[in-house]
A and B are shown apart, each in its own frame.
Chain A
């Protein structure tokens, strides 16, 4: 049990508290289609915006003539780089990306100009009519060539232990992963409304309104208070909304025209507008003693960052720090390079650098087990890290829970599904296409373990604000954290309920002017960060209410003593409002030394996946039958939502294993549509059984850990391992294509 000791004696039992699975407040409206997503925004008299995008991977802009667009009736504005009122560039860490192209376009799809018109159709026609003359330039699209030219965003060199340590058993490997898209269902959308006094209110689906705000007001050239960002309904994120897309453009158009302006990207444009998961090239050398003790790992990682930095510096850092998995090793040497090319920019996506390396190091572990003649699970157990151990890359002592061996053992102990597929042909490789019969298939099983840090790292001042107010009816929780669909809204309610004994909790998502930053909804951090802030604030509210009533226990009816209400919530509030604002911080992290050493991370989570696949080796088709998982979750605050995260993350991992990839030729995306960027359908979805390992975290509320990313980290590696097991092929690239499996 992990309940905070202070929470128990001062509150009554409450329905819908932590550890239960109450319905989410936005669930029924979403299922009924009544929930307003950002694409549903509407304001009287609004205009529609559209974007002119570069058709070249790299080109000089010789001229931009807005006249043909402005000549179309109903067109109100055509804006270019010259019209950006403030800072002409944006970006999260480094402001290297022009708000609108600065004379040269550096990737396919780069915004060159924006237009506003009376309706969406006219806006699209106007965007097509803006006459841009390009002189195509040689594009640098090969990350290897970029490395040779020194075109890089960050080079990491993580070195630890005795460089001369050598093992008797050595395996080497080269691995690649493709460019993967978040493919959130809600495309980029927003509405900017000018306030008539030079300011603007932006309603937008994003992951971190305060970070957006910093970049927004600087580029608009206005005081911070003159630009306000409000969260609107978010249809998924997965990292795609961490960088700005249409935010500044919308506000520029609104301020220029004096009219509200709305923009909704279509699916094709969405692929061009947001960053993707970095494609990777990875060389590995693992050395072990004959008993299976891992003694040295060398790796070189190249992640292509594309044209602008976005979060490449942090993604490659994760790649390097987590390059060898949750295992002991005496000696480590990892080089990580994020290249700058003319490919579309890559940045945040669920798993953030940990996914690519897991694909490689888990393949290496299997290869090493084979070379040692050892069972691959035994090899992992022999080298598994635990709490209190040092991470072999950064040298950090792991605090809190880190049950690597427990996760591996629990998963290995789960029963395997029945030996054969059932009679339904749709559940065979090829599915509805009827390509395959049971006689054509081979079954394989693969196992993989992955881990990652939680929350921001490398000395970043990571905090989350939340305000909790007692009202006569219950509690009001205010936050600027982005509910992207993951269910944070419910978890915050549950935390507040358990902390106070009050069931009635309303969560309000408020704007940048109304509260401080909650930090990004990313890095698996909001349950711990905003959840941590809500817990502290709710406990303070409870303590003040009890102080006013002279002690007792709190409930929705008021303060109780001996089961009798001695003061209603209204009575308690008669003295004045009770409201608590908390700025919550996790334990501080340090900046890395030159060799990547230090206490860089606030905490870690580990998960393992075991995939069972049926493969048709002749046609190279795969059906992922089952993916089971064990995950280190600290404490399951909302078991149903948690399992939802595991299932969804696994499905994303399955997609990356067998079908999802942006096909990019010379910097140009060839499959920017759901016709050709294939996501798993329900016929591709495996069954999932999950074991939750509950060992309390050292700082998460009630011992909870963030659970969002681990399901995506090792699921891809497990599925590909299973295909290797079924076919005997090396399969060193994800996603695996039918031609790779069939060997043609």
Chain B
């Protein structure tokens, strides 16, 4: 197995140019599970941890190599809440937001926030940079728009982030658990509200009808809050698997939506 250990982004792009099929390695918390249990045997690897440029967080640009441990203590409230739920302290010190996007799991805990704020993903290759909105980048369960030869440089948040933002995640135990359902809700002082849910669809689900309904309510009544929850539950498209049932996930989506909204009022 060939391993490239570039120390700057240009080095990464050169390595990928030379070998576009190379596997990118960040914290390895997803990749090494695939190697150990999934029998995956990458022919060549480009290791990203030595690339400081990818591990920087400046203003609204979060480098792909920024770890959950940093995000957990960072300035963005709902993203920090999501970061706290990722794995264990060991996983959070190694795992990165770029790796979460690279894996593109429906249960990726960083993704609902990115969807709720309409963040973008910045990609680079020797051919140049391109920026995709989150829903252009996340194309399906464990599928994304990354092309051979490309690396995720980072995430770009919108210029303005609503101050009121909350994240919550359900799992069958109280820490270190894969999400059964999660949600992130952001709300402007004027009422404009967005909500994205995780683990209840192939990619994060934006409940747009519910958003529209509640955004028109500057101070929602209990009935409006309940209606919002009902609409969210209608809009998600969960499945039944060994972790939970579709019925529970749908029900829980509605409960989380109501609670997060109440926390943002």
| A320→B42 CA distance, assembly (Å) | 54
Let me know if A83 is at the binding interface, CB within 8 A: no
Contact B170 A739 (CB under 8 A): no
Binds A, one of B127-135, B145-153, B175-183: B175-183
Contact A434 B167 (CB under 8 A): yes
Partner of B36, one of A266, A618, A683: A266
Contact A671 B242 (CB under 8 A): yes
Q: How far is the CB of A741 from chain B (nearest CB, A)?
A: 10
Q: How far is the CB of A731 from chain B (nearest CB, A)?
A: 15
Let me know if B60 is at the binding interface, CB within 8 A: no
Let me know if A185 is at the binding interface, CB within 8 A: no
Q: Which of A434, A620, A678, A681 has the most CB of B within 10 A?
A: A434
Let me know if A256 is at the binding interface, CB within 8 A: no
Contact A678 B180 (CB under 8 A): no
B175 contacts which chain A residues (CB < 8 A)?
A: 426, 431-432, 681-684
Partner of B174, one of A266, A432, A671: A432
Binds A, one of B13-21, B203-211, B247-255: B247-255
| Given A433-B85, A435-B259: A738 touches B248 (CB 8 Å cut-off) | yes
CB contacts under 8 Å to B, within A662-712, are 663, 665, 670-671, 673, 675-676, 678, 680-684
Q: How far is the CB of B34 from chain A (nearest CB, A)?
A: 12
Q: How far is the CB of B248 from chain A (nearest CB, A)?
A: 4
Q: Which of B81, B85, B259 has the most CB of A within 10 A?
A: B259
B81 contacts which chain A residues (CB < 8 A)?
A: 434
Let me know if B54 is at the binding interface, CB within 8 A: no
B242 contacts which chain A residues (CB < 8 A)?
A: 663, 665, 670-671, 676
Q: How far is the CB of A428 from chain B (nearest CB, A)?
A: 8
Let me know if B244 is at the binding interface, CB within 8 A: yes
| A623→B259 CA distance, assembly (Å) | 19
Contact B244 A426 (CB under 8 A): no
| Given A619-B252, A670-B242, A742-B248: A684 touches B173 (CB 8 Å cut-off) | yes
B144-171 interface bits toward A, Cβ cutoff 8 Å, 1 = contact, 0 = none:
0000000000000000000000111111
| A738→B255 CA distance, assembly (Å) | 13
| A684→B177 CA distance, assembly (Å) | 12
Let me know if A514 is at the binding interface, CB within 8 A: no
Contact B84 A432 (CB under 8 A): yes
CB contacts under 8 Å to B, within A710-744, are 737-739, 742, 744
Contact A618 B255 (CB under 8 A): yes
Interface size on A, residues (CB 8 A): 38
Partner of B169, one of A435, A440, A658: A435
A670 contacts which chain B residues (CB < 8 A)?
A: 242
| Given A266-B36, A663-B242: A433 touches B248 (CB 8 Å cut-off) | no
Let me know if A430 is at the binding interface, CB within 8 A: yes
| A434→B172 CA distance, assembly (Å) | 13
Contact B168 A433 (CB under 8 A): yes
| A663→B251 CA distance, assembly (Å) | 22
| Given A435-B256, A619-B255, A684-B175: A430 touches B170 (CB 8 Å cut-off) | yes
CB closest chain-B residue, reference A616: B255
Interface size on B, residues (CB 8 A): 32
A620 contacts which chain B residues (CB < 8 A)?
A: 248
| A434→B259 CA distance, assembly (Å) | 10
Contact B170 A621 (CB under 8 A): yes
A139-183 interface bits toward B, Cβ cutoff 8 Å, 1 = contact, 0 = none:
000000000000000000000000000000000000000000000
B230-265 interface bits toward A, Cβ cutoff 8 Å, 1 = contact, 0 = none:
000000000000111101100110011001000000
| Given A266-B36, A675-B178, A678-B177: A434 touches B169 (CB 8 Å cut-off) | yes
| A673→B247 CA distance, assembly (Å) | 25
CB closest chain-B residue, reference A432: B175
Let me know if A268 is at the binding interface, CB within 8 A: yes
| A429→B172 CA distance, assembly (Å) | 10
| Given A739-B245, A742-B248: A430 touches B174 (CB 8 Å cut-off) | yes
CB contacts under 8 Å to B, within A614-632, are 618-621, 623
| A676→B84 CA distance, assembly (Å) | 19
Let me know if A337 is at the binding interface, CB within 8 A: no
Q: How far is the CB of A544 from chain B (nearest CB, A)?
A: 55
B173-195 interface bits toward A, Cβ cutoff 8 Å, 1 = contact, 0 = none:
11111101010000000000000
CB closest chain-A residue, reference B167: A434
Contact A744 B178 (CB under 8 A): no
A673 contacts which chain B residues (CB < 8 A)?
A: 37
| Given A671-B242, A681-B174, A681-B176: A430 touches B168 (CB 8 Å cut-off) | yes
A404 contacts which chain B residues (CB < 8 A)?
A: none
A-B contact pairs, 26 of them (CB 8 A): A266-B37, A426-B174, A431-B175, A432-B84, A433-B169, A433-B174, A434-B167, A435-B169, A435-B259, A437-B259, A623-B174, A663-B242, A671-B242, A676-B242, A676-B243, A678-B177, A681-B175, A683-B173, A683-B175, A684-B174, A684-B175, A738-B170, A738-B244, A738-B252, A739-B245, A742-B252
Q: Give the top 8 A-B pairs by smallest Cβ distance, nearest first.
A: A431-B174, A739-B248, A433-B169, A670-B242, A683-B174, A683-B175, A744-B251, A663-B242
Beyond A426-B175, A434-B85, A738-B244, list 10 extra A-B contacts (CB 8 Å): A431-B175, A433-B182, A659-B173, A678-B173, A683-B175, A684-B174, A738-B252, A739-B248, A742-B251, A744-B251
